[in-house]
A and B are shown apart, each in its own frame.
Chain A
Amino acid sequence: MIDNNILGPVFIHLFTGILQLIAWRKTVTQRFISGIGSFLGVLIAIRLFTKVNSDGILTLNAANWDAPFGIVFVADLLSSTLVLITSIAAFAVSLFSSTGISRQRMLYGYFPIFHFLVMGLNGAFLTGDIFNLYVWFEVIIISSFVLMTLGGRKTQLEGAVKYMALNILASTFFLTGVGILYGITGSLNMADLSEKIKMVNNQFLVGITSAFFLLGFGIKSAVFPLYYWLPSSYHTPPSAVAATFGGLLTKVGIYAMLRVFSLIFIPDDFTKQLLMVLAVLTIFTGSMGALIKLNIRRLFSYLIVCHIGFMIGGIGMFTKVALIGTLFYLFHDILVKTNMFLIAGLIRQMRGTMDLKSLGGLYAQYPKISLLIVLVLFSLVGIPPLSGFWPKVFLIKDAYAHGEYAYIFALILGSFVTLFVIARMWSEAFWKNVPEGNELEDKFEPMPLARKILLVLPIGILALVTIYIGLNANFVITLADNIADQLIDTKPYIEAVLKQKQN
């Protein structure tokens, strides 16, 4: 079904960004525009989601070119759900930024770039054209480069050099893959590719092409041997930026993998095995890294890597149950990881540091906020009935059914290490008294109430959504079930994109 509203989530952030460019250096106006724009973004995303949920897959042909020739935008359940969750996370980050980002950074265009980044994310989820996906990826990374370097401190630039080099490298691999794919099939439309790729005589070449995509998306989503840029850069930018990156950017890599490997390169046994091995190693190295870090944000960075492994494993098994687990985990992870970095930012505001050794006494001073935070932490660890628990049930169940014992072991190890580091963080930062002789600068206490609300409210919103997902798991599981159906049986997607040719 053709629908012009598909691009709403992209355009709303584009226009918000442009309006903010007009209000250049007027930081108060920019904050208002950002809040309103992101809120409208959430409403539009909800509308798109309900529409896709009731009417099925929506498509839009750019400039009315028929499907395999022009660029096509497709909103299926996976895309629209991710757009919805991204919009919610972006709304929370936007509120948090209005207090959590220094005025200097706002003066140099933090808000416009943030909205261009979210626009890129929404575009990447909605496009149905592989080259267009590459272009959205570039929109994302160039915005993220600016956000990462904004402020220009030495550590920040250090992190940015690594981040930049590896992300450009990933894009080049992706582009190479797209080039070869065009060379062997003569198409760029993902639905069309899905049909044409089967007709290629040289299936070995197809396998090599898929390796390029795996490499490119693997770097983006921080899979085992390619993740080193992540922990060495995500702790450097301001927390609101790190929240966007940690919650959303690596997940685009996962989304692209889900899309490309379900639609174009159906995983064969070798790819599946490879993904399983990568998943196990990713979980293992990520959790080992998290064990030794004492800086909250570095710890979270390793947890991102660890939890990416959970999802890669689900893709590697590529059965319906495993995909349900992966998708559920993906939704949960975006919300919770964004929230974790916002919490890190809040702690930084309260204590002026994020080092576990010098933190302390947060629970005694802020009991209510701590109780809110502990809900998020429980959800990350996966205490039932919160959202982190359900996907693991599916993943472990399916891994057991397929005899992937190494993956089960890694999953349990990863969950256990998460529990351990979060418990340690809780006791060090919240329960322990402030260590003797530490000068703490509490910027949070003297803040006016409005600013305090702006810092805590986004965490509350995201926590509410997480709790909703956890308690209303039935709905999310049904949703993930439908999405998994669409991923395994791609016929509806292909028909929705290509069938308009006849009319």
Chain B
Amino acid sequence: MEFFLVILIGLFYGAGVYLILRRSMVKLLLGIMFLGTGANILIFLLGGIVKGKPPVIDETAKMFQDIYADPIPQSLILTAIVISFALTAFAIVLLKRFYALANTDDLDDLNTPEEEDI
């Protein structure tokens, strides 16, 4: 299980970085999303994957006899997912607005000459 997750994380990070380096705005967005997902799975993996154990330690237990499932990484991921959801939603709207204004999907066109405004 861990092994496959490691491969998966590598793929997510690799694909994310690759997509961010492309010139298309949609790919930039996808890249950001991939990186976020990769980070989430990384936290999940590093928190230690335990199968079929409760997330609490038995009241009578005097020490860590048994490994228990750590609930913290899951709460961290939950927070991170909510945050990245909000950021992604914002990014989609921003890129859509920009596309409507500039009519281009190419990040290299983001260099309008200096304009005096505000």
Contacts and interface: CB of A to CB of B under 8 A. Distances in A.
B83 A354 contact: no
A182 B43 contact: yes
B86 interface: yes
A182 B110 contact: no
B72 A188 contact: yes
Contacts of B72: 182, 188
B69 interface: no
Contact of B36 (A131, A146, A172, A236): A172
Interface in A232-258: 235-239
Interface in B63-118: 70, 72-73, 76, 79-80, 83, 86-87, 90-91, 94-95, 97-98, 101-102, 107, 110-112, 114-118
A367 interface: no
Interface in A119-169: 131, 135, 138, 141-142, 145-146, 149, 152-155, 157-158, 160-162, 164-165, 168-169
A268 B102 CA distance: 48
Interface in A205-234: none
B19 to A, nearest CB: 11
B47 A149 contact: no
Contacts of B56: none
Contacts of A235: 114
A179 interface: yes
Contacts of A437: none
B55 to A, nearest CB: 14
A404 interface: no
B46 A161 contact: no
Given A131-B76, A155-B117, A168-B32, A179 B46 contact: yes
Contacts of A169: 20, 32, 35
A172 B86 contact: no
A183 B83 CA distance: 21
Contacts of B25: 161
A332 interface: no
Contacts of B115: 155
B98 to A, nearest CB: 5
A186 B71 CA distance: 12
Contacts of A238: 118
B26 interface: no
A142 B90 contact: yes
Contacts of B117: 153, 155
A142 B97 contact: no
B42 interface: yes
A178 B83 CA distance: 15
Interface in A331-369: 348, 353-355
B39 interface: yes
A454 interface: no
A354 B115 CA distance: 10
B74 to A, nearest CB: 12
A130 to B, nearest CB: 10
Query: Which of A145, A176, A236 has the most B CB atoms < 10 Å from its CB?
Result: A176
A13 interface: no
A233 to B, nearest CB: 10
A175 interface: yes
Interface residues of A, number: 44
Nearest to B75: A131
B101 A157 contact: yes
Nearest to B91: A164
Given A161-B110, A168-B32, A182-B46, A145 B118 contact: no
Nearest to A69: B72
A158 B95 CA distance: 9
Contacts of B101: 152, 154, 157
Contact of B94 (A153, A164, A186): A164
A146 B91 CA distance: 11
A167 B31 CA distance: 14
A281 B56 CA distance: 51
Nearest to A163: B94
Contact of B112 (A154, A164, A165, A179): A154
A168 B35 CA distance: 10
B73 A182 contact: yes
A295 interface: yes
A180 interface: yes
A316 to B, nearest CB: 27
B28 A165 contact: yes
Nearest to B17: A169
Contacts of B107: 161
A176 B44 CA distance: 11
Contacts of B111: 158
A162 B110 contact: yes
Nearest to B36: A172
A115 interface: no
Nearest to B95: A161
B112 A131 contact: no
Contacts of B110: 158, 161-162
Nearest to B37: A172
A135 B42 contact: no
Contact of A172 (B28, B35, B95, B97): B35
7 contacts: A135-B83, A145-B94, A161-B25, A162-B110, A176-B39, A176-B42, A237-B118
Which 10 residue pairs spanning A and B have beta carbons closest together?
Answer: A183-B46, A179-B43, A157-B98, A172-B35, A175-B39, A138-B83, A158-B110, A179-B42, A176-B39, A154-B101
Given A149-B97, A180-B46, A236-B118, 10 more contacts: A145-B87, A146-B90, A149-B94, A157-B98, A161-B110, A169-B20, A175-B39, A176-B38, A176-B39, A237-B118
